A and B are shown apart, each in its own frame.
Chain A
Amino acid sequence: MSGQLTVTQLEQTANTIRKDIITMLEAAGSGHSAGPLGLADVVTALYFDIMNIRPEDPEWNERDFFFLSNGHTVPVQYAAMAERGYFDKAELKTLRKLGSRLQGHPERTKLPGLENTSGPLGSGLSQAAGVAYTLQYIESNPKRWVYCITGDGELDEGNIWEAAMFAGKYKLSQLIVFVDRNNIQIDGRTEDVMPLEDLAGKWRAFGWHVQEVDGHNIESLIDAADMAKAITNRPSIVIMHTIPGKGVDFMEYDYHWHGMPPNHEQAKKALHELRTLRGKIRHEGEGV
């Protein structure tokens, strides 16, 4: 896939995914808004550039892996998967409905293409580490990569640091983690709830290669993934500075949108902003 879409096309794709997130969440009537919107750029970069995957063959045995550790942000993954062709986009509106493959939190056994079941925080990283360990030490296969996204509030979990120590010990260089550093969690700002800083220093101390990037700059995200792949003696973490609710003015930076969906009026307003890139263009044209 790498290089098939230009950066501009990737940005447009991310915008489409944001619109799908709003539509899905409105239809679902429950769910999380801020996190999925904030992750749209990195998930687009992963599914449309960075990862070696075959949507028509989700269990392809040469694929790269994607573990979403903070399962509550799964609408962004569903939207990206549908956009990438794993399933029909019409199915997005079944999110959180009885009988849907798109469970409120992702379940691997329900939807082909998901690598893990997550929701309770802190255990996606160690599953990704288990895959990376197997690739590196048991199968000696250096050609597959294991990507993992975690939240920042999620880093309060002890399981994360157990996994950090494990990946550091075994120098799991095929493991590349993206942290959604949006500074919010349910009870408020991360630094008030449970301070994470010096976050980069913590990961370095655990033996990781650390990069910090603008989580909304797709080109930087792709460069960071390339750099991480070039590091062959350590696991890599990319701390992505993101804006929660990115792309929708009234949601940005407001932690109240962490666990709330938009109602009809709010969804309409959000979609208008996304279609016009906040008034930068006059027509609400399709494909933007």
Chain B
Amino acid sequence: MSEYRLNPNYASPDVAQEPTRAGFGRGLKQAGSDDERVVALCADLTDSTQMSHFAKAFPERFVEIGVAEQNLVTVASGMARMGKIPFTSSYAAFSPGRNWEQIRTTICLNEQPVKIVGSHAGVSVGPDGATHQMLEDIALMRVLPHMIVVNPGDALEAEKATRALAQDDKNPGYIRLAREKTPIFSTEHSPFEIGKAYVLHQGSDVTIVSTGTMTAQALIAGSILREQGINAEIVHAPTIKPFDVETFIASVSKTGRVVSVEEAQAAAGFGGLIAETLGDHLPAPLLRIGMNDRFGESGSPDELLAHFGFDSKSIAQKVREFIDRVPQYKKGY
């Protein structure tokens, strides 16, 4: 395995930051330029979701749907029937939050390559509060047959992920985006491939497997833990479905302990996926860090991340307690 190239500045307080939605905006515009079949539809949130870059560059391929998320994805399904590769954008709370059945029937069962873009996911949406802080989207999307689920770690990766999804004219896809700026931990040369997880930092005491922008926090948590003599392996999983079982299980075989980290409901979400994967392949002890059967609330993004235990310090502390409490898995346990 070739070493993942991290941004050398990733742990610095002045690391470059950008919202993942900005990377999506650039990626979609590029995808539109690469392939005329790419079209874009939005439900009255064109600037917010950064679809505006595509809309300005290719107005003839952009469709304003208005505040109508059911229509958003079903019109897209019809356009896919015409050989297009449609991207639909809204806030994740509304799409796929409101229109899940239409996505299931007219996109997944109907096998149309519509890409659902859910922006403003997670508690880090901030002051808008719980109604807008989508936490259940990973669970909703990953149970759908044919659906590819991508949760990019930073803006650079979001750009690559968008372009990769646009190149797939067979499968439906979901891409989860965040509103707030988050650290850029990858580089332009870092690999991204749908279906791959990446070992960002080698370790032997525990595997911290994280998805989305939580990986930036997990990396810092890893540094904090190393200062305490705990050597955590950091695995970044930008693709939730199909999940890279091989990379993940290879890591767990080495460390014998797992902590999953996501800014979403841990039940049935990414934590659920990790629990299932361990159950199927290697029953190592698991701590799931995520929302635990509750909603978010208003506050500033940083306050909320700390309040709900998603910041690097909280993650490091939870991992520390977990390691103190639970021994490593060994064969014949």
Contact = CB atoms under 8 A, between A and B. Distances in A.
A221 B65 CA distance: 31
Interface in A151-173: 158-159, 162-163, 165-166, 169
Interface string A117-146: 111101100111111111101110000000
A135 B102 contact: no
Contacts of A252: none
Interface stretch (B76-84, B148-156, B183-191, B304-312): B76-84
A132 B82 CA distance: 9
B66 A108 contact: no
Interface string B306-326: 000000000000000000000
B84 A138 contact: yes
Contact of A131 (B68, B70, B82): B82
Given A130-B79, A166-B68, A123 B102 contact: yes
Interface string A86-128: 0000000000000000000001110000011111101100111
A162 B66 CA distance: 9
B105 A127 contact: no
Contacts of B101: 120
Contacts of A129: 71, 75, 78
Contacts, number: 100
Interface residues of B, number: 26
Of listed B66, B76, B105, B111, residue having the most chain A CB within 10 A: B105
A45 B75 CA distance: 26
Interface of A is mostly: helix
B60 interface: yes
Contact of A133 (B63, B68, B70, B80): B63
B109 A127 contact: no
B81 A165 contact: no
B74 A118 contact: no
B131 interface: no
Nearest to B76: A130
Contacts of B78: 116, 126-134
A126 B81 contact: no
A130 B70 contact: no
Nearest to B84: A134
Nearest to A114: B110
Given A116-B106, A137-B60, A138-B60, A130 B75 contact: yes
B254 interface: no
A127 B70 contact: no
B61 interface: yes
Nearest to A109: B111
A109 B110 contact: yes
B60 A127 contact: no
Interface of B is mostly: helix
Contact of A158 (B60, B66, B70, B105): B70
Contact of B81 (A127, A137, A139, A158): A127
B76 to A, nearest CB: 6
Interface residues of A, number: 32
B68 A130 contact: no
B39 interface: yes
A72 to B, nearest CB: 13
A268 B222 CA distance: 75
Given A134-B82, A159-B70, A118 B76 contact: no
A139 B82 contact: yes
Contacts of A119: 105
Nearest to B110: A117
Given A138-B39, A138-B61, A165-B68, A123 B74 contact: yes
Contacts of B70: 122-123, 126, 158-159, 162
Contacts of B39: 134, 138
Contacts of A138: 39, 60-61, 79, 82, 84
B60 A134 contact: no
A133 B71 CA distance: 13
Nearest to B64: A169
Contacts of B105: 117-120, 123
A123 B105 CA distance: 9
Contacts of A158: 70
B79 A131 contact: yes
A118 B74 CA distance: 11
Interface of B: 39, 60-61, 63, 65-66, 68, 70-71, 74-82, 84, 101-102, 105-106, 109-111
25 contacts: A116-B77, A116-B106, A116-B110, A117-B105, A117-B110, A120-B105, A123-B106, A126-B70, A126-B77, A127-B81, A130-B74, A130-B75, A130-B81, A131-B81, A133-B75, A137-B60, A138-B79, A139-B82, A159-B70, A162-B70, A162-B71, A165-B68, A166-B65, A166-B66, A169-B66
Given A158-B70, A162-B68, A166-B65, 17 more contacts: A65-B81, A116-B77, A116-B81, A118-B105, A119-B105, A120-B105, A123-B74, A123-B77, A127-B106, A129-B71, A130-B79, A130-B80, A132-B78, A134-B39, A138-B61, A165-B66, A165-B71
Q: Lowest 5 A-B CB distances belong to which pairs? A: A130-B78, A162-B71, A126-B74, A127-B78, A162-B68
